[in-house]
Structure 1
Amino acid sequence: MSVLQEVELSVSTAADVVESLLYLLQCRRDDDSAAFASALEALGMSANEAQSYWEFLDSPSELLWNEAKDNTEITQRFGLAISSRPSTPRNWLLYRVVSLALPDILQCELVGTRHMGGEESADNPADRLRIIFDRFPTDASSTKGQLLSIWRFLQGAAATQFSQAVVRAAGSLREELGADLGLRFAELLVEQKMLIPQPRMVALVSRVLKAGLDGQQVTLAGAFCPDYAYERTENPDLPYRYTFDGLGDGVGLVAQQFTRILPALSAFLTDLGVEHQVVLGIGDFEADNQDILDQVGVDRTEFFARCRRSLEAFRQAVPETVPLQLEMCWEDRAGDRLRPYSDAAFERMMAGDFGEMRTVFPDLDAIIERIPGQYKTFYERWFGRDMADREVLEVILKQAGEYAALAQITIEDLGRDVIMLAGDRPEMNRFNCFPEPLATLCAKRAY
């Protein structure tokens, strides 16, 4: 007999006694302990076990409730043990609780025998099955993603529509944007594989969103790398690796992050009624470095030409519903401002002056200290030669100066109701805050 067939059998045998666990709530409201116990006994419990639930519901502590382990401890797991015999599952109470919060929860998946994959024992016989649910209900009052237990449910607590991961991620967003919008925004970021900002950055992002809700136009801005050659890795956390042994004219690795993020983020803002535009550029200014040109095997003119073709490929990859403006960062926007701005920022950083960055990132010194060692091999591949640690630091800070310059130009041209989007390394996008604190949302690293 399949798991779903067994569940259906249990529904039919219990349906004449309790239509749903809402009946148990009614018994509690009516102070009818006999009816409460009868309903649970009809689901396969012993009289003593059924009585224990009534008593523990009156307990001020959920810790005592956990002593009734057969039907509560399992709410802390992503598997559920039931008997494989054609009889009512001992944990049917949990099935029914979960199904009230998530009606499709009974579409469970049998993944093998021996509950949770453990060894056979007196408490874990071989005839128990392991069942996986896609999602468990999270306590709506929780700010840390606690699962909704049976005790909390029967005390009248509600289940949130958001997953445990979203609730855990939403802390600062809920504080800044309110519970509903904060959770919805956190859900968007989690689903789109974006990093949840730290509290100080959350405040900056929230200010822009609130401005949009008040009728101001919001700009999503950013830049992506040219279509440098890359390869797959065997690391699921960093699935790609730049080789820099060529330059294409398609949608590059970082640009692919934007093609995933933009439609969802734009739709989210549209649903909120926030007028917005998206302004993205490609890093054509990297053609200003002869080491890079030599490494990818093209001259400056061809580098620019491939960047423009990459922009067109990107345009074709993004739905027309996204209000998108694409440009060459240097040729179309920054012009003769780029190098003076970036050089000035570089000189200040080399002298230990990181502008406004420390107001947003109090751990900045530790970040700066680890970046050279973390990315040394990356820059050696990019520039096609070995580098000493000091040279790596200088190269990083020169690139950081470019981030700072583009951020300053973005503020000058597009105003302050801007959220910078980043698809490359989050550490480098901290330099967006060099000229002034600037809202930034980063995708998780792909390389």
Structure 2
Amino acid sequence: MSQSLAHYYVRNKLTHKLISKRVLSPISLSQQPPADLVQALCIESEVSKLSAVYAQFQHSDDGHTGLPRYMPFYRFIQSKFPGFQWQVRSTQGKKTLILDKPYINQSRPSLLNLLLCAINDNTATTPALKVRYPAMRELPDELVVDLEQAFERLSFAQSAPHFVARFAQALAKGLAGETITLVSPVCPDYGYENKNGRLRYTFEHLGEGIGLVAGRVVKTLPDLQAVLQKHGIDARIAVAAGDFEGFDASTLNRLKETREGFAHKLRISQQKILDALGPGAESIMIAEAAGGEDCWHALTAEAQRRLAHQDNGCIVEDDLDYASIFSARLPLYQAWHQQRSNEELMQILYAQGAEYAAIGKVFAQQWTNPIVIGADHNRMQPFYWLYSTIPVLYLTRVY
């Protein structure tokens, strides 16, 4: 910016916010903005249009609502950018607006820049996901916008950039013609209760229906599949049952089930899940897919040995904060494994982390391009990467 505009500087700076204020505030008062600033910005023709727009979108009661005097500008922007939204907040009788501006050219524009784009019908925006996750920039905007809406609609948790990068790479393969499989591991239909508005497992019985986690999966997978298919991606869906949980004697005792009874109920549940998902959905038993009980135990023992020796494979450094993961999982472990010390429960976390690592390995061998959609607790997400960088996204937890 020219040094001739130094008198507009505040603390030796002339920010985009200051420029917006210097130009727009006079217009909102039916005055002309500073001519030297307008000339330096090369917006002489746009200023007269902004004045006309302000008058056109002004409401007769604007002076009595207590809303900011820029409201006509906001209404005009919204007419050009439907994604431009605001929230009204009142503090001590004074109303302020919290603006949600779209991204343009990978960044949030100033109010003046947004108005200039609207005036000139330059309404191309950058999906927020592409700004938050640079790895998504290689995907078509239309697909990313639909994913953005799906993630919000289906309540996806925010993942670390490296997980989203692998997700984006898998989608790129799908766009190139390869088949993608959306797969979710699901818990058996354990008993649960609603306590103070929060769902909580009780593990007091085992049902034959669609369990707590599976219920989220049934709503999520077909929706996400439809989004991908809309953009030409051959996306299949699969559910993987935790049959290995029926190998644990303490779990069976707690549920008052035999191995045979556990397996029988699990298969009934899986069929109900498949029926709910519709034609084309696939179901596997995780330990069965690993080669059976002995193979499963060998696989998890190897994973647990590696984790115990901090041989973390592909897991990103700093992702394994055992203390915070344990804190997040503690309520579940206390309900599942009653009357055990924290030291004993910590060993359960290590064992469960090994199970997630083993699940990741089984899925990577079962399908060419799997994308894991987790619905239990996203703090277990890092363990999937012990053996390979399998794409993993998580929903917000339901319990």
Match of 2:274 among 315, 325, 331: 315
Using a 3 Å threshold, how does the CA distance of structure 1 residues 404 and 174 change in structure 2: closer, same or farther? Answer: closer
- For 1:195 and 1:388, how far apart are their aligned partners in 2? 27
2:230 counterpart of 1:271 = yes
1:362 alignment partner in structure 2: 317
Question: Which stretch shows the higher mean deviation, 295-304 or 94-103?
Answer: 94-103
- For 2:42 and 2:196, how far apart are their aligned partners in 1? 47
Give the TM-score normalised by structure 2.
0.76
**2:314·2:386 contact (CA, 8 Å) conserved in 1?**
yes
- For 1:151 and 1:54, how far apart are their aligned partners in 2? 18
**2:133·2:165 contact (CA, 8 Å) conserved in 1?**
no
For residue 324 of structure 1, report the CA deviation from its aligned partner. Answer: 0.9
Using a 3 Å threshold, how does the CA distance of structure 1 residues 296 and 83 change in structure 2: closer, same or farther? Answer: farther
What amino acid is the match of 1:404?
A: A
Gap regions ≥5 residues in structure 2 = 1-23, 55-60
- For 2:135 and 2:30, how far apart are their aligned partners in 1? 46
Q: Deviations over 1:29-50 (max 9, x none)?
A: xxxxxxxx9xx99xxx6532xx
Using a 3 Å threshold, how does the CA distance of structure 1 residues 282 and 57 change in structure 2: closer, same or farther? Answer: farther
For residue 342 of structure 1, report the CA deviation from its aligned partner. Answer: 1.0
2:337 alignment partner in structure 1: 383
1:83 alignment partner in structure 2: 63
2:386 counterpart of 1:434 = yes
- Kindly indicate whether structure 1 or structure 2 has the higher relative contact order, using CA contacts under 8 Å at least 6 residues apart: 2
For residue 288 of structure 1, report the CA deviation from its aligned partner. Answer: 0.8
2:82 alignment partner in structure 1: 102
- For 2:247 and 2:179, how far apart are their aligned partners in 1? 34
1:420 alignment partner in structure 2: 372
1:140 alignment partner in structure 2: 104
What amino acid is the match of 1:197?
A: S
- For 1:348 and 1:198, how far apart are their aligned partners in 2? 23
- For 1:168 and 1:379, how far apart are their aligned partners in 2? 37
What amino acid is the match of 2:350?
A: L
Alignment of 1:201-212 (within 5 A): 201-212=163-174
2:364 alignment partner in structure 1: 411
- For 1:328 and 1:354, how far apart are their aligned partners in 2? 26
For residue 226 of structure 1, report the CA deviation from its aligned partner. Answer: 0.8
- For 1:57 and 1:300, how far apart are their aligned partners in 2? 79
- For 2:254 and 2:96, how far apart are their aligned partners in 1? 53
Alignment of 1:117-196 (within 5 A): 117-120=90-93, 124=94, 138-143=102-107, 146=108, 149-155=111-117, 156=120, 158-159=122-123, 166-167=128-129, 170-177=132-139, 179-196=141-158
Using a 3 Å threshold, how does the CA distance of structure 1 residues 54 and 171 change in structure 2: closer, same or farther? Answer: farther
2:177 alignment partner in structure 1: 215
SS at match of 2:62: strand
Alignment of 1:8-27 (within 5 A): none
- For 1:293 and 1:160, how far apart are their aligned partners in 2? 58
- For 1:249 and 1:400, how far apart are their aligned partners in 2? 26
What amino acid is the match of 1:407?
A: G
For residue 265 of structure 1, report the CA deviation from its aligned partner. Answer: 1.3
- For 2:82 and 2:126, how far apart are their aligned partners in 1? 11
**1:138·1:159 contact (CA, 8 Å) conserved in 2?**
no
- For 1:446 and 1:61, how far apart are their aligned partners in 2? 54
Using a 3 Å threshold, how does the CA distance of structure 1 residues 207 and 333 change in structure 2: closer, same or farther? Answer: same
For residue 140 of structure 1, report the CA deviation from its aligned partner. Answer: 2.8
Equivalenced residue count is 356
SS at match of 2:33: helix
2:7 alignment partner in structure 1: none
- For 2:391 and 2:70, how far apart are their aligned partners in 1? 51
- For 2:162 and 2:70, how far apart are their aligned partners in 1? 48
Using a 3 Å threshold, how does the CA distance of structure 1 residues 149 and 157 change in structure 2: closer, same or farther? Answer: farther
> Equivalent pairs: percent with the same residue?
21
What amino acid is the match of 1:325?
A: E
Using a 3 Å threshold, how does the CA distance of structure 1 residues 232 and 150 change in structure 2: closer, same or farther? Answer: farther
What amino acid is the match of 1:440?
A: V
**2:103·2:126 contact (CA, 8 Å) conserved in 1?**
no
